[in-house]
Chain A
Amino acid sequence: MSNSEKKESSLLSMVATLGIITSLAGLLLAWVNVITAGPVAEANRQGRISAIESVAPKFDNDPLSEAVVVAVGGDSVKVYPAKEGDRLVGAAVEGFSMNGFSGRIDVMFGFDADGTVTGYEVLSHAETPGLGAKMNEWFRSPEGNRSVIGRSPARANMTVAKDAGDVDGITAATITSRAFLEALRTAYDAFHQIETAN
């Protein structure tokens, strides 16, 4: 405050320095953004494709470009049809449930043509580590009635044993188990709609 003349000149230098640094930063970021944009899109695509490949029956089409959005229970679900030639051999379906222990869970389910579960992959969740978070292994384990793979919601009652269903829920994580199976039923409903339309 005391030295107004000095402040004038330093104000200019302050603004200039910050301006130069900011524009350099902006240029650097824009450049990195341009070179990473391709790989980012590719990484997203690859993540999706590998999830579909790991759950659905073998296919030779491009399920990503043939994806359909199906309305189920007031929300929409993405279905990626798996085809061999022109024949529908199954699908990968992004099921979800809002009723996880800590909110939404997203699971990709694979079905073969007659609706049997061929695999699943948990895409995102916020469940408790060590309890609900076990769902990515639990429901494919061969022990007892845990596995949902090789079963079909059309023939089995896909709810937890506690609710008189046919699936053993995760020990001490019944809420997560219920949500997981709800996601499975949502996915199956969506798949069923596609299948009957076909």
Chain B
Amino acid sequence: MAMNNKLRIIYDGLIANNPTFVLLLGMCPTLGTTGSAITGMSMGLATMGVLVCSNMAISAIKGFVPSKVRIPAYIIVIATFVTVLQMLMQAYLPSLNALLGIFIPLIVVNCILLGRAEAFASKHSVVDSMCDGIGTGLGFTLALTMLGAVREFLGTGRVFGLDVYPERFGSLVFVLAPGAFIVLGLMIALFNRINRR
């Protein structure tokens, strides 16, 4: 298969089928971890790591898993990689782990992972599934980083922790819970508008 094809798979996940803005999957971490650009990006990358691994593993075992038990098998594979990630983060990135908290184990129930396993990895080769994992993972990371950056900018006057304007002009509500819903709503509307043209 041509290189072009792999790039196409990545592009699909990143833009055309962006998991957050187009497919509206994985809403909980999208809202819960985007108080700042850094936390959003970390969550996106963590999810991407699990997604790439689980996609590859599921694609590798797809031949000999009876179709009736494929969903439990996928769940076990995903949960295993999530637990590995959780243990690695506790050991080497404890402060980030504390920041993301419960959303790390909850990657297990992120619909994106099971969705990609069922819709893509169970039908394609290991390499293609890896590309799909990278594309979809990047799309998710991009969405979370953008959302985090916008909320951080409006709320505290910073982006990635760098001062842009004085904090007292910021509107705190964007960092708090309501801002998460409102900014995400506006960003999906923006994505709709761009895609329609």
Taking Cβ atoms with an 8 Å cutoff, the residues of A that contact B are 10, 13-14, 17-18, 21-22, 25, 28-29, 32-33, 36, 39-40, 42-44, 47, 124, 128-131
Contacts and interface: CB of A to CB of B under 8 A. Distances in A.
Nearest to A29: B83
Nearest to A9: B66
Contacts of B94: 40, 43-44, 47
A74 B92 CA distance: 36
Closest 8 CB pairs of A and B: A39-B91, A25-B80, A36-B91, A130-B172, A43-B94, A14-B69, A36-B87, A40-B91
Interface of B: 35, 61, 64-66, 68-69, 72-73, 76-77, 79-80, 83-84, 87-88, 90-92, 94-95, 98, 155-156, 170, 172, 175-176
Contacts of B98: 124
Contacts of B91: 36, 39-40, 42-43
B180 to A, nearest CB: 11
Given A36-B90, A36-B91, A39-B91, A17 B175 contact: no
A130 B151 CA distance: 12
Given A36-B88, A36-B91, A44-B94, A17 B66 contact: yes
B77 A25 contact: yes
A10 B64 CA distance: 12
A124 B95 CA distance: 11
B66 A13 contact: yes
Contacts, number: 67
Contact of A130 (B64, B65, B155): B155
A17 to B, nearest CB: 5
A17 B65 contact: yes
Nearest to A39: B91
27 contacts: A10-B68, A14-B66, A14-B68, A14-B69, A17-B66, A17-B69, A17-B73, A18-B76, A21-B73, A21-B77, A25-B79, A25-B80, A29-B80, A29-B84, A29-B87, A32-B87, A36-B87, A36-B88, A39-B91, A40-B91, A42-B91, A43-B90, A47-B94, A129-B172, A130-B156, A130-B175, A130-B176
Contacts of B155: 130
Contacts of A128: 176
A42 B91 CA distance: 8
A90 to B, nearest CB: 25
Contacts of A21: 61, 65, 73, 76-77
A129 B72 contact: no
Given A130-B155, A130-B172, A25 B90 contact: no
A25 B92 CA distance: 22
B90 A10 contact: no
B29 to A, nearest CB: 17
| Residue in B66, B94, B172 with the greatest tally of chain A CB atoms within 10 Å | B66
B72 A18 contact: yes
A28 B69 CA distance: 21
A162 B91 CA distance: 43
B84 A32 contact: yes
Contacts of B69: 14, 17-18
Nearest to B155: A130
Contact of A17 (B64, B88, B92, B176): B64
